[in-house]
Structure 1
Amino acid sequence: MANVAMTSDLEEVLRPFHQRAAEAEERLAKLELLSESKKGYSIEEALQLKDLQTKLDSAEAEKIDALKEVRKLQAENAKLQYRILHLIRAVQDADKVKVSCHENST
């Protein structure tokens, strides 16, 4: 019960900070557009550039995540191949023991 009250109080305390941060992000976006328009781009072109940059950043982050996943799967694959190798050897050894026991009993 105290946790819920604490969380609520914390959210109430942080609300003005979140609001100020959102306002600052809006101002920054406007400044970026203004900066792009001073480089010779129209506002529409600047918006398109910003959108493309956002998509590029998102794709880059996805690429990094995918590469991490590939590395993780490669490591897991190597471990499984190692286990398979040892299981095959264990089966071969068991077969040899079985054959030798069968030969000794006849």
Structure 2
Amino acid sequence: MTDSEKANILQEEEVLKPFYARASQAEERLSRLEAAISTKNDTGNEEFSKTISELQSKIEDMKLDHVSDKNKASLEIQRLQTENAKLQYRILHLLRALEDADSKRDS
């Protein structure tokens, strides 16, 4: 290689140095951005997972409350049906007594 070729290569390297520096800086910034996004996503995923866990817990609590309310309602329905049957029985006997009283009065 001749001296002029070596000089041309050195000149080209000097011209390209700023571009290499900018490329290196861009790669560093990109690495920092990727790290920041990764950290942010991890935090977001943790918060998302926490929110999902809280919602699942609330759903389970609501299911338990629903079952409890359903059992209470079922017991209340049974109580009311029993009371209704007793009242119908009393009404039936009161009507018979009334009919007996009316028939005795008429005769």
Give TM-score scaled by structure 1 length: 0.60
**Counterpart-to-counterpart distance in 1, 2:22 and 2:11:** 17
- Work out which of the residue numbers 69, 72, 81 in structure 2 matches 1:101: 72
Q: Which amino acid aligns with 2:59?
A: I
Return the offset for 1:40: 7.7
Partner of 2:103: none
Partner of 1:42: 13
3-state DSSP of counterpart to 1:42: helix
Partner of 1:79: 50
**Counterpart-to-counterpart distance in 1, 2:62 and 2:76:** 21
Relative CO higher for 1 or 2, CA cutoff 8 Å, sep ≥ 6? 1
Partner of 2:62: 91
Give TM-score scaled by structure 2 length: 0.59
Percent identical across equivalent pairs?
4
Instruction: State the aligned residue count.
Output: 69
Task: In structure 2, list runs of 5 or more residues that go unmatched.
Answer: 1-8, 78-107
> Is the radius of gyration larger for structure 1 or structure 2?
2
